[in-house]
Chain A
């Protein structure tokens, strides 16, 4: 089973920051947190990942709490094309389910 909890849906106004929360209270000390998104009918797209420190790339920022029990993905200026399902994944090293177990994610709707 996925080791993360995310809200099923969120709305965001175009041009505003989208802050997507994720709880991963059972994550182990050496397991990364990954974020992917899936736009309708397309393959999942990698966004960012992190272990302990906050991370930023051209797509988003990832803020991980000091106790590593939760994280927030930030899309600084959401556009309509950011409407997608966002998956927060706590790495699951080993096991037949694979290292990335996708849960149900958060459906983000960016509105004009």
Chain B
């Protein structure tokens, strides 16, 4: 157990509504990541953070924003949810070594259904 929790674990929402997913870690790791997983696509990186208030875009960042106001929490916000954002969302953490990201440890996931 890498000390990562995600909330909520399941959510159903309607198109056009804002949604915020939370990732919380107890490991004090510097790097945190948000991925989405869809059939036929594997895991794809949405956004990542390399420190408090330091974030960057991943491969599929359109329609998503993130915030990291403290080390332990990384929030993913869908500004206006669309059906294409129905997915399973995974958070991950890592602690860089020698300036490179190290092994990533994943949370249990959040299943989001946008109707």
Number of A positions contacting B (CB below 8 A)? 20
Whether B59 pairs with A97 at a CB distance below 8 angstroms is: yes
Is B74 engaged at the interface, CB distance under 8 Å to the other chain?
no
List chain B residues, Cβ under 8 A from A41. Answer: 109
List chain A residues, Cβ under 8 A from B58. Answer: 96-98
Instruction: Write out, one digit per residue, whether chain B residues 5-43 have a CB within 8 A of any chain A CB (1) or not (0).
Output: 000000000000000000000000000010000000011
List chain A residues, Cβ under 8 A from B107. Answer: 43
A interface, by DSSP: helix, strand, loop or mixed? loop
Whether B42 pairs with A46 at a CB distance below 8 angstroms is: no
Is B45 engaged at the interface, CB distance under 8 Å to the other chain?
yes
Whether A42 pairs with B42 at a CB distance below 8 angstroms is: no
A49 to B94, CA, bound (A): 14
Residue of A whose beta carbon sits closest to that of B90: A43
Whether A99 pairs with B42 at a CB distance below 8 angstroms is: no
Whether B109 pairs with A43 at a CB distance below 8 angstroms is: yes
The one of A93, A101, A102 that contacts B100, using a Cβ cutoff of 8 Å: A93
Whether A98 pairs with B59 at a CB distance below 8 angstroms is: yes
Residue of B whose beta carbon sits closest to that of A87: B42
Residues of A within 8 A of B (CB): 2, 34, 41-46, 49, 93, 96-105
Q: List 13 A-B contacts (CB under 8 A).
A: A41-B109, A42-B108, A43-B90, A43-B109, A44-B90, A46-B103, A46-B105, A98-B45, A98-B48, A99-B100, A99-B101, A102-B42, A104-B42
